[in-house]
Structure formats: C-alpha cells, structure tokens
Amino acid sequence: MRVAIVGCGLIGGKRAKSIAALGHTVAGTADAVPERAAQLAKAYPGCAASAGWRELVARADIDAVVVATINDALAAITLGAVRAGKHVLVEKPAARSADELRPVAAAAKGAGVTVRVGFNHRFHPALRKARELVDAGACGPMMFVRGRYGHGGRVGYDREWRADPTLAGGGELLDQGVHLIDLTRWFLGDVASVSGFAGTFFWDMPAEDNGFVCLHHAGGQVGWLHASCSEWKNLFCLEIYGRTGKLQIDGLGGSYGVERLAYYRMLPQMGPPETTIWEYPGEDTSWNAEFRDFENAIAGTTGTGATLTDAIAALDVVAAVYQQSDRAKRAA
C-alpha cells in the first residue's frame, strides 16, 4: 500500500518506520508544523510533504492514512480521509469523545472502508500470549481483571497539550486509561455499567491526573482499573483472573521494564500454583503487528485490532466517569 502519515511527531515516526519495514510505501506526510512533515518525508524515498492534511488525503495515489495528531484533530482528519475513500489507522483514543467519533463510524460504514484504532497494547507479545491462553481455556471462566498503568510526568507536564481538556478531551483517564479500558473489554466483553472517579491530586492542571474505574461487565465480571500520571516509577500491570488460573502482565519495555507474562495455574489441591513465565526483551514489536492486522482487515480478515466500535465503547466509559466525578465535585 501507499500510505500517508498525518501527524509527524513521535508516534507518526514510529508508524512510518513500521510501514516501511513491512514493505509498504510511506508516500506522503502532513503536520501542523510543516517542518516536521518535511523532515519525516526526507527519510523515505519518493515521499512528499503536503501543505495540509486535506490536500494529502485527497491524493489519488494514497491507499491508506495513518492519523497520529493530538486528540482534537483525530476525528476530523479520520472523517476527511474516510470521505476521500481511504482506509484509516487512527491513533487512540480516536477522538476527544464518543460523540465526535459516532459520525466517523457512520461515514466509514457508508464508504465501505476499513478504519482501525491504534490500541497497540493488544499487540504486545505478552498480551497476545495472554489472549491465546484465555481463548484456550487455560484460566477457566473469567472472573475479573485488575489493571494499573501510570507514569510520573516531567517538569512542565501540566502545561503540555495533554493537560488541556480543550485539546485532549480529558486527562490521564483518556490518555493511558483508555488502554486499560480497551484491554479489559477485550478480555471480559461489553461493559454493562460504570462507576469511578477522576481527580487532580498533584499536577496544577484542569484535567485529571488520576482516574479510578470499576467496570461491571455484561457477563458478570468486573474490571478494577487505575490510571495515573503521578506514579513516579513508570508502571504497567494487568492481572487477569479466571476460576482455574491467573495471568499477570508486567512491563511494556523501556522505562516500564521488561515485558513479562506469568501464568499461575491452579492445582486440584489448590495451594501454591504451577507457574510458567515468559519474558519479551528487546524492541517493541506491537507497531508492526498492529499494522499487519490492519492490512489483513482491509483484505477482509476480522483480526484482533480495535475497531471504531471498541473506541466508542472506551470513550463512553470515560464520559461516564467524568460525569460521575463532576457530580461528586459539585456535591463536595
């Protein structure tokens, strides 16, 4: 495929690298900062930077578009690309709210194009192995998921775009929290009801720096989640509990530590479980795996990538927590 990149920052660069590694052509770039688009284009022979995203997605030689901008532009650019007949991989959360994303889903269905959302955590090897084990019945019927995800920010974090609800749509719950929500839905199914609280405890910003969520799933299972940007030591931990076993994923590589999956199998006599551990050091392979799944989806294979329906469901959870939090703050 000939692929366009809209948004040429860190994630756009990662996407371009994986697209080229998989044998596709990075054919065009666009960014709100033209110099960034030009710089990324220089790294790929034959790639041309465009003055704006509308011009780029309208090009007849473009097959697919990667949208990797900040949150306030995600839905509008995806909608423009869909209306131009392009397949789209849009970075999470795909919009600032579900209401922004629903028209995109309707347009994609009408245009007959494929849109996937970049919840790349589904494609980390420990999580793919965990899903394989769950599907094989290694843990028995699912009971609940407990997840924690956080980082410690950096000097000036409360003045960056992620701290501005107008640009981001929310704070930490919308940033890292949507990954936890998406993964929990992936393992436990649809959410029936939500309770939670989003609050600002440390950073001087109008968006939340911590989000706490309890998900009640349609099948009776529970998700218990915490996303934080006052974690200080970067952390990712997802625990998946079944009636006969538990899976625990720790780390995502880099500052989050070596990615590791532990499988604890309950023995008939109970007591200490039988334990198997897998570790996945080295480069993050999720970007390549997710784009390969996107290719397959375009070709008609269902795959495991997140859809617009998945993104809307995650954003609906975030909105419910924000509404409950606003009521709690007014009552205090």
Burial class (CB in 10 A: 0-12, 13-18, 19+), 283: exposed
Return phi, psi of residue 197, to 5°: -150, 135
Q: Which of the residues 42, 92, 129, 329 is marked catalytic? A: 92
149, 236 Cβ separation under 8 angstroms: yes
Return phi, psi of residue 73, to 5°: -105, -10
SS3 at position 172 = helix
Return phi, psi of residue 190, to 5°: -60, 150
Q: How is residue 151 written in tokens?
A: 């980082």
Contacts of 311 (CB under 8 A, 6+ apart): 92, 93, 94, 95, 101, 117, 119, 182
Cα(285)–Cα(287) distance, integer angstroms: 6
92 catalytically annotated: yes
208, 164 Cβ separation under 8 angstroms: no
SS3 at position 66 = strand
273, 264 Cβ separation under 8 angstroms: yes
Burial class (CB in 10 A: 0-12, 13-18, 19+), 247: buried
Would you give the end-to-end CA distance of the chain in angstroms?
55
40, 312 Cβ separation under 8 angstroms: no
Q: How is residue 96 written in tokens?
A: 């600032």
* CA distances, 182 to each of 21, 23, 42, 211 (Å): 27, 29, 35, 15
Q: How many CA atoms within 13 Å lie on the side-chain side of 103?
A: 12
Instruction: Please report, as a single letter, which amino acid is at residue 255.
Output: S
**Residues designated as active site:** 92
